[in-house]
Amino acid sequence: MKQLITLTFFLLTLTAFAQKPCEYSANVTDSIGTYKITNEYLISEKNFGGTFNYVFFSLAQTDGLPTLNLQLIQKSKDFIKANCFDKNSKVFLQLENGKIVTLIHVNQENCGTLIHDDKGYDNRVNTGYFMFMKDNYEELKKSPVSIMRIKYLTDVEDYIVRADLTSELTGKVYHPNTYFIDNIRCVE
């Protein structure tokens, strides 16, 4: 019986300390307030016909308010359509448990920046900032994400969120479907 209790205690302790420490690209506290943001994390990568699309997430906390920073990077030698964020833009996350979590864009219109590189590619970088709603915030901690829908000013785009994603760009393995389960604690 004593061995069973010891084994149970050991397993619980191991599980409690198994979480990775939070890594921040910025963690500042000053007279104005506090701000911290996690490192960017690849959620989706599409490479087809010389056109490259990447979606990155990072979580930020500004004076206790958590937000999702969503960055879209498009690269192509062809015309790149601008997908703009506005006050009506939203991110819908369908979880594997069937629930849908909605994030609302902050009231700031943004169509991104177009940058030309020396290899003849046009690169569009667009960042949107989304707020969590109180009633479904807890669901993100419990269930992996299966589908993400981004509602832009004039368009809607769907993404399948995979369990494992090996980036063609970096060769690194990502786990986008458990992003919130693994990282939301970093901005609470």
Tell me: the pLDDT tens digits for 104-130? 999 889 999 999 988 889 999 999 999
d(CA 117, CA 112): 16
Q: Beta 90-95 vs 165-166: how paired, if at all?
A: unpaired
* Cα angle 16, 19, 23; round to 5: 145
Distance CA 139, CA 132 (A): 11
pLDDT of amino acid 10: 47
What six digits make up the tokens of 23? 């890594």
pLDDT band at 33 (very low <50, low <70, confident <90, very high): confident
* Separation of alpha carbons 50 and 52, rounded Å: 7
Query: pTM above 0.75?
Result: yes
Instruction: Report d(CA 139, CA 65) in Å as an integer.
Output: 17
Query: Tell me, what's the pLDDT at 135?
Result: 75
The pLDDT value recorded for residue 58 is: 96
Q: Which residue's entry shows tokens 């020396």?
A: 118
> Can you point out the beta strands (E) in the chain?
24-29, 34-38, 41-48, 51-62, 65-76, 90-95, 100-105, 113-116, 122-132, 145-151, 156-160, 165-166, 173-174
Would you say 180 and 149 are in contact if contact means Cβ atoms under 8 Å apart? no
pLDDT at 7 over 70: no
Secondary structure letter of residue 96 according to DSSP: T
